[in-house]
Copies of this chain bind each other. A is one copy, B any other.
């Protein structure tokens, strides 16, 4: 009995290393195969929505989707079994994604077309760089995340003010333009204001009256200055973080002449030639 349990325990541990780990050869291989299968399943679902392909190959695509779903179901069960704290996994980000990626397929037996939602499993690709173990890219994406993290609050405050402006502008344009030129309600007006302020400009709704066009011009010029703000925030953050990582140390001071601003790698003072002690 004990032997069986320990054998099971061994299997559990091995499975865990393969499923969760990215350091062993097998663990990494499994992750890459998994990503390959995800890419395949996403492509299958995508192709299934294209009319021409759907008409001809629907049955083949559905069979492939079912095979992949069964594989992912087994993987999901193994993940729950093999880990020490299954509850924690189930409610983690990737745990929820894994469940959301297999559930719609089973639901599609009762509610057709819900299988499209399996596409959510592409979020697993966020881990690609961790699996590939490319230190350079990991560092770059860390810097990206840091700069965005640091500018998050400023951008949220900014978006808050943009949204209030969008409500005012949208209501004004609804009053000025009326239903003929597409401004059928205030929410549609707000939608138009956001389309304009972000400079996307679909043109599905656009002002037709002279006064509406004049107001729209003002909004666009306002948006002109406004689009500069998030860019300014993020750029300043990037510049700051890249200066921080810069080669010049502000803490390295010469003990002889008190000269500051040496390179991090400096061994001698560039002012008086004394060997720097605080290396």
Contacts and interface: CB of A to CB of B under 8 A. Distances in A.
Interface string A102-146: 000000000000001101101101101100000011001101100
A6 interface: no
Interface residues of A, number: 107
Interface in A167-181: 167-168, 171, 174-175
Kindly name the residue among A159, A273, A275 whose own CB sees the greatest number of chain B CB atoms within 10 A.
A273
A268 to B, nearest CB: 4
Contact of A268 (B128, B195, B268): B268
Given A143-B154, A157-B129, A175-B116, A259 B262 contact: no
A185 interface: yes
Contact of A232 (B220, B237, B259): B237
A136 B128 CA distance: 35
B236 A246 contact: no
A225 to B, nearest CB: 5
A235 B235 CA distance: 7
Interface in A181-230: 184-188, 190-191, 194-196, 198-204, 206, 208, 210, 213-214, 216-217, 220-221, 223-225, 227-230
A273 B273 contact: yes
9 A-B pairs with the lowest CB-CB distances in the bound complex, closest first: A202-B203, A268-B273, A200-B201, A266-B270, A232-B234, A236-B238, A232-B235, A203-B203, A228-B234
Interface of A: 42, 45-46, 49-51, 116-117, 119-120, 122-123, 125-126, 128-129, 136-137, 140-141, 143-144, 147-148, 153-155, 157-164, 167-168, 171, 174-175, 184-188, 190-191, 194-196, 198-204, 206, 208, 210, 213-214, 216-217, 220-221, 223-225, 227-240, 242-243, 246-247, 250, 253, 257-263, 265-275
Given A187-B214, A259-B260, 19 more contacts: A45-B186, A46-B171, A46-B185, A49-B187, A119-B168, A119-B171, A122-B164, A144-B154, A148-B229, A163-B221, A191-B217, A198-B221, A200-B220, A201-B203, A202-B202, A236-B238, A267-B272, A268-B271, A273-B274
27 contacts: A42-B167, A49-B184, A49-B187, A116-B171, A117-B171, A123-B164, A140-B154, A144-B154, A155-B225, A159-B221, A187-B213, A187-B214, A188-B213, A191-B214, A198-B199, A225-B230, A231-B231, A231-B235, A235-B238, A240-B242, A257-B258, A258-B272, A267-B273, A268-B269, A268-B270, A268-B273, A273-B274
